[in-house]
A and B are shown apart, each in its own frame.
Chain A
Amino acid sequence: MTSKTKTKKTRKAAKAKPNHKGLLIVVEGVDGSGKSTQLEMLQNWLNANGFATVKTEWTSSETVRPLIKKIKKTETIVSPETFSLLGLADFAERYDKIIEPSLRAGKIVLCDRYIYTAYARDTSRGLDLPWIEHLYSFAPKPDLAFYFHVKPEVAISRKINMPKFYEAGADLNLHSNIKKSFCIFQKRIINAYLGLAKKEGLTVVDGETEICVTFPKVQHIVAKAIQDKFKIKLL
């Protein structure tokens, strides 16, 4: 092993252990996987137990969101690189202004989508994973990451509205039919997520099972993380 790869590994290992006082919990998965509902339930439960929580969603910054929204709505074609950097800009705003300060203050930060969304989506647009990892390298790995898995067929069947341009990956010329394009793109993203879940050790939750069955499992894992971090017994 060369010294270069050694340093890289050490850095990665150091990053795996967040050194802030707070707790960073993220949910990942495609739309319709139930992740947002479960995250909201989790927040209510934590708040009811007296924890200070902060929740932040993907593409929700006050400053960058309007620009991304405009590009999506007007179906302006931008390159995958530009699209990826715009998503990063939104994340960076929320990271610097919300996530990082909240973690420093010892709060529980709940992220509806985190870096893995970019990893999955941007690589599905043909970009190299090492570059995407580099772009997001200022953000720590979460203490807990749940990936809500649904099969592509299920994700597609849960989609009632007509897929939007970028959501369908229509910028990639996958198929002339927007619904078909959406199916191809969803499959790519779900496959990317599955790969990431394995590589990054995300906790896979079955998004096809009833929430009343899966939520207690999520609660249990969160309770354990809280006990480890704050020495408080929740369940």
Chain B
Amino acid sequence: MSTNTKNKIRPGKLIVIEGIDGAGKTTVIRKLKKRLRSKGHKVVLSEWRESLTIGGYLKQLGEEGIKLSPHAFSTLHAADFADRVMREITPALDRGDIVICDRYFYTEIVRDAGLHMDSKWSEGLFPFAPKPDLIVYIDISLNTSLARVRKRIKKNGKPGSLNKTLQNTTGSLIGSLDSTTGIMINSKYTEDGDPMTDIEREKIKFGFQLITRKKYDELFRKEKNVARIDGEKGRNTVFSHSLAAIKNALK
């Protein structure tokens, strides 16, 4: 519960899955969880923006269309993450479980970079985070990301509608843009209404993804224990490569 716990040796294993929208994180996590459990491992899944204390509130703000300021968006997500570290991640690691994190604090750092915020600041928000034993980084091209997200919109319904799928995940391009960035780029949060068309949003999204992908690359170049997985390959290949990396980390 207190500080400086990040370097403590814990019996569990922390596996982090990261990647831009449409990388296939959710699909691979579902399969990994199933496979590891069938092999007798205790697996705990911890998802971004899903803390007991703050997750629901963040979602509620999103549903009500309330836009937090850039710094507040980052720090409230950091608070959400800190709550999950205390409540879910650390206890599970202490029990000796495998913790799979659907996104980790890297998500916040790349998002902030995408909004041209000071990276030094974002990178210094998370000294309390336990060090991952393995980071599975699923890398895809921007074109693939956009194509997959577009496909998802078609499947999940009208962009911008406030249904649950959109709010929970990055269900649509628009929902995705807003929930990822927290503010509308090129438009101030104090202004009413939404001056952007879908096309404009898509363009911004593309620019945003461009920076976030670059930032992921930069961050994971510095980190050890990173398995880079080519997300352009079929889902079965992505799964088997991820599983191989995890098996290696569990040794």
Contacts and interface: CB of A to CB of B under 8 A. Distances in A.
B126 to A, nearest CB: 9
Interface stretch (B10-18, B61-69, B136-144, B232-240): B61-69
A71 B52 CA distance: 11
Contact of B125 (A95, A128, A135): A135
Interface stretch (B72-80, B170-178, B241-249): B72-80
A89 B121 contact: no
A93 B69 contact: yes
A138 interface: yes
Interface stretch (B19-27, B82-90, B145-153): B82-90
Interface in A103-159: 126-128, 131, 134-135, 137-138
Given A79-B85, A82-B86, A131-B127, A89 B75 contact: yes
B124 interface: yes
Nearest to B83: A82
Given A88-B75, A126-B3, A134 B121 contact: yes
A92 B121 contact: no
A196 interface: no
Given A67-B54, A137-B121, A85 B71 contact: no
B208 to A, nearest CB: 19
Contacts, number: 91
B53 A71 contact: yes
Interface of B: 1-3, 53-54, 57, 61, 66, 68-72, 74-76, 78-79, 82-83, 85-86, 118, 121, 124-125, 127-128, 189-190
Nearest to B70: A96
B71 A82 contact: no
Interface of A: 61, 63-64, 66-67, 71, 76, 78-82, 85-86, 88-90, 92-93, 95-97, 126-128, 131, 134-135, 137-138
A128 B3 CA distance: 8
B91 to A, nearest CB: 12
A96 B182 CA distance: 14
Contacts of B85: 79, 81
A62 B1 CA distance: 29
Contacts of A131: 3, 124, 127
A122 B27 CA distance: 40
Contacts of A134: 121, 124-125
Contacts of A61: 72
A135 B83 contact: no
